[in-house]
Amino acid sequence: MTSIDADRFRETFETYSDIGRTDNDGLHRLTLSDADVRVRDQFVNDLESLGLDVRIDEIGNIFGRRAGTDPDAAPVLIGSHLDSQPYGGRFDGQLGVLSALETLRAFDEHDVEHRRPIELVNWTNEEGSRFKPALMGSGTFVGEFSVEETLARTDADGTTVEEALESAGYRGDAECGPREPIHSYLELHVEQGPVLEEHGQSVAVVDGIYGMSWLEATIEGTADHAGPSPMHSRRDALVAATDVVQGIRRLSNRYDDVVTTVGELTVEPGSINVIPSEVTFTADVRSYDDTIVAELVERVESELEAACAREGTEYELEEIWRIKHTEFAESVRTAAREAAEEAGVSHRSMVGGAGHDANYLTEVTDAGMLFVPSVDGRTHNEDEFTEWEDVVAGANTFAETTRRLSQ
Amino acid sequence: MTSIDADRFRETFETYSDIGRTDNDGLHRLTLSDADVRVRDQFVNDLESLGLDVRIDEIGNIFGRRAGTDPDAAPVLIGSHLDSQPYGGRFDGQLGVLSALETLRAFDEHDVEHRRPIELVNWTNEEGSRFKPALMGSGTFVGEFSVEETLARTDADGTTVEEALESAGYRGDAECGPREPIHSYLELHVEQGPVLEEHGQSVAVVDGIYGMSWLEATIEGTADHAGPSPMHSRRDALVAATDVVQGIRRLSNRYDDVVTTVGELTVEPGSINVIPSEVTFTADVRSYDDTIVAELVERVESELEAACAREGTEYELEEIWRIKHTEFAESVRTAAREAAEEAGVSHRSMVGGAGHDANYLTEVTDAGMLFVPSVDGRTHNEDEFTEWEDVVAGANTFAETTRRLSQ
């Protein structure tokens, strides 16, 4: 097998981490912001330095192609995303792109031959922080969103994706989408959870990703003065909502592999001495079993019904997103397991909890993922961290998996 | 006894309600806003038309004095406030000022003699919506706040009370504070709760006002991605906070006369797929028994301790305000009960849940209050309503109580 150059990889990682680095050593690099444009420039420059054939598509996805010995063979696609969460970490996304870059550098250095072309990709707007939805670049690539609707998406200031691409100089000429059959897609990412760390392992071969539902609930009560309103006469939207949040937390008690989260909750009118009249909150429920996701959605509604009956309030519930579980290709998982064995890296199989560009890629090719550990499971914040030895173990596994897929 | 003129009263009520009237027949008349200045002009005009001696103090409290037969006797002070909540109701505050105005008009019409001078007052900024704190005019009058600190208070735009008074033309010359002993203070107000309506009574003679504590709690957890974080590894600030909110609601179970409310709650970072790292919320706990208020504060902390122990989160708790219960003067309550009997008005005694200007007036004189019903207990919103027959019953009781106090 061909090992990557750990020192060169680290140097590159630090160079990229300087672009949009925060005071607390995190990364603030929202899609098509100045920092994102600078890191794209650096990336394109690095692709060109490797002699790759660079292609930018109409929504700003950047590809760099290394020819294989068989020009007619379907290519292997490898990569991830360079955009970050607001004040996010340096590992999420970036590590996948740079592992792919280092892989091609190592292949170059060691004259690794491969039959299939290998294409490195940086997907536009994976995070969905500036423009919604998340996974925009890969979702458009596979046809989940049309190019027109993607270009028309706006950020909080009303700037469209199209305008942002134009002013950044990243509205490319290439059509967005597969222009040929793709052999496989491989992505390395931080786990964003504690499983690998808890088990003391460096790499996970990802079996698939949870299915999930995003729900938004509104509870209507009656605003009243906090003093003169006896408890029995109240219709307190926050009392009902907090009852539901507790119920949603307890939902996971009955399953061994379910996660439920209430991440947003707002209170109207939000005054210290006024009984809340309206509370809006979200629920995020996930399972690898799609029928369980459906069951969880029903249970959230049952909790709302029960809590509102207790408090005399009313509710509305809307499902704003549902995504089926993703099962990654056995061919990629096998290649990855064998690569980890060959690289002598401690590894396990696991199911991922979060959506990644690889999810969408399953729609057009055999896709798979590798995870490396997240210390304390921290992610989407400046404390995000992965021990460098695990990063190297992951990158070596990634390089060897890529080599195997490209034969 | 002297009855008020119900038709004239109603006409005046409608005239005043037109000043700052909202599309939904509420009132939007924030302190020293254009609408508040217009209603003050109307009020001063009405005082002058009655031949009253008008005095405006340095923080904009407006007084109109009707002489008694004994010029040396301590005056009876009657009134309330003309400012409103944002998109509030037409009854809160205004009804008290206009009942006092109608009382003096009726006295004028029927040549009612009284030994003591009677002073009608409109207190500046009772609501505390534009400038904090609430009860600003009466609080400064009794010396709870210095004139300097009151004048320096700012609204959300940074405008000081002093600047607002100057530009409104309501920075008066009179010193703020009692310039002589005051015999008594009487205020009519809407109940802002459902008790009178539930008991089918028109008037309450208020025994006193709840003591209360305002608390602000912050719970710190750990932000993590909602997908890859197993339930057992989470430190979810919102799960802990909603546990506490439920506990605070249950606190009232153990007392027969306690109210507890969580009115504000904010979630950080507030993203659908991120476990909340920080939740800040308030608690408002009230009882007529000050030792019970102290006990409630301890119990809120116990709930925080227990919830944070369950969730692995940490908390801070700050008491931002504590006010003892207020007991109104027996002399005023007796006069009011006798007046209600004489007016043939159904009445009861009750304890009020909310702070009023009368609370502060107890610090300088014998103070008391009358309540009239609030339909469905609604207040601080445009739906605030009191049946006109109850308004008239209240105003007649008010006029007769004033007459008795002024002998």
Name the pLDDT band for A256 (thresholds 50, 70, 90): confident
pLDDT > 70 in chain A, percent: 100
Residue A302: predicted pLDDT: 98
B234 and B183 within one domain: no
B225 and B169 within one domain: no
CB B187 within 8 A of CB B369: yes
Q: Which domain holds residue A357?
A: 6-210+325-405
Which helix (H) or strand (E) segment is B306 a member of?
Answer: helix B290-311
Q: Token pair for residue A273?
A: 């001495």
Residues in contact with A146: Cβ distance below 8 Å, sequence separation at least 6, in sequence order? A140
Residue A323: predicted pLDDT: 86
B232 and B105 within one domain: no
What mean pLDDT do residues A132-136 have?
92
Q: What is the pLDDT of residues A112-123, one digit of tens each?
A: 999 999 999 999
Residues 90-109 of A with CB under 8 A from B: none
Count the Cβ atoms, other than its own, within 10 Å of residue B294: 15
A239 and A180 within one domain: no
CB A212 within 8 A of CB A319: no
Q: What is the pLDDT of residues A1-30, one digit of tens each?
A: 889 999 999 999 999 999 999 999 999 999
On the question of pLDDT at B58 being above 90, the answer is yes
A286: contact with B, CB 8 A cutoff: yes
pLDDT > 90 in chain B, percent: 91
Q: What is the four-CA torsion angle of A36, A38, A39, A45, rounded to 10 degrees?
A: 140
* A186 falls within a domain: yes
Q: How many angstroms away from the CA of B282 is the closest CA of chain A?
A: 6
* CATH number of the structural domain spanning residue B62: 3.40.630.10
A357 and A271 within one domain: no
Q: Which of A192, A196, A239, A242 to mutate to test the interface with B (most CBs of B within 10 A)?
A: A242
Residue B329: predicted pLDDT: 98
Q: Token pair for residue B385?
A: 């309503």
Residue B371: predicted pLDDT: 98
CB B272 within 8 A of CB A264: yes
Residue A275: predicted pLDDT: 94
B319 and B341 within one domain: no
What mean pLDDT do residues A182-199 have?
96
Count the Cβ atoms, other than its own, within 10 Å of residue A356: 27
Q: Which of B263, B298, B323 is the last residue of a domain?
A: B323
CA A354 to CA A373: how far, in whole Å?
14
Q: Token pair for residue A38?
A: 């600078």
Residues 340-379 of A with CB under 8 A from B: 352-355, 374, 377-379
Taking CB atoms and an 8 Å cutoff, what residues of chain B touch A242? 241-243, 245-246, 262
Number of structural domains found in chain A: 2
What mean pLDDT do residues B372-391 have?
93
B76 and B112 within one domain: yes
* B1 falls within a domain: no
On the question of pLDDT at A238 being above 90, the answer is yes
Residues in contact with A58: Cβ distance below 8 Å, sequence separation at least 6, in sequence order? A147, A151, A171, A172, A173, A174, A175, A176
Taking CB atoms and an 8 Å cutoff, what residues of chain A touch B354? 225, 227-228, 273
Q: What is the pLDDT of residues A315-325, one digit of tens each?
A: 999 998 898 99
Cis before A269 (ω within 30): yes
Residue A273: predicted pLDDT: 87
On the question of pLDDT at A385 being above 90, the answer is yes
* CATH number of the structural domain spanning residue B268: 3.30.70.360
Residue A189: predicted pLDDT: 98
Q: What is the pLDDT of residues B193-217, one digit of tens each?
A: 999 999 999 999 999 999 999 999 9
For residue B27, give the nearest of B381, B388, B390 by alpha carbon: B381
B75 and B42 within one domain: yes
Q: Which of B129, B130, B196, B225 to mutate to test the interface with A (most CBs of A within 10 A)?
A: B225
Q: Which of B293, B323, B353 is the last residue of a domain?
A: B323
Name the pLDDT band for A285 (thresholds 50, 70, 90): very high
Residue B141: predicted pLDDT: 98
Q: Which of B323, B343, B363 is the last residue of a domain?
A: B323
B74-83, B334-343, B370-379: the lowest-pLDDT one: B370-379
B178 and B258 within one domain: no
* B140 falls within a domain: yes
Residue A381: predicted pLDDT: 86
Beta bridge partners of B217: B281, B317
A245: contact with B, CB 8 A cutoff: yes
* A312 falls within a domain: yes
B92 and B186 within one domain: yes
Residue B60: predicted pLDDT: 98
A185: contact with B, CB 8 A cutoff: no
Residue B268: predicted pLDDT: 95
On the question of pLDDT at A271 being above 90, the answer is no
Residue A386: predicted pLDDT: 97
Q: Token pair for residue B305?
A: 């301790």
Give me the helix-helix angle, A388-405 and A94-109, nearest 10°.
60
What mean pLDDT do residues B21-42 have?
97
Residue B321: predicted pLDDT: 85
Give the DSSP letter of residue B371. Answer: E
On the question of pLDDT at B149 being above 90, the answer is yes
Taking CB atoms and an 8 Å cutoff, what residues of chain A touch B268? none
Tokens 């996805």 -> residue: A61
Name the pLDDT band for A81 (thresholds 50, 70, 90): very high
Pairing of strands B211-220, B314-323: antiparallel
CA A249 to CA A252: how far, in whole Å?
6
What mean pLDDT do residues A242-253 have?
97
Name the pLDDT band for B246 (thresholds 50, 70, 90): very high
Q: What is the pLDDT of residues B165-199, one digit of tens each?
A: 999 999 999 999 999 999 999 999 999 999 999 99
Q: Token pair for residue A232?
A: 């029995």
Taking CB atoms and an 8 Å cutoff, what residues of chain A touch B380? 223-225, 274
B283 and B153 within one domain: no
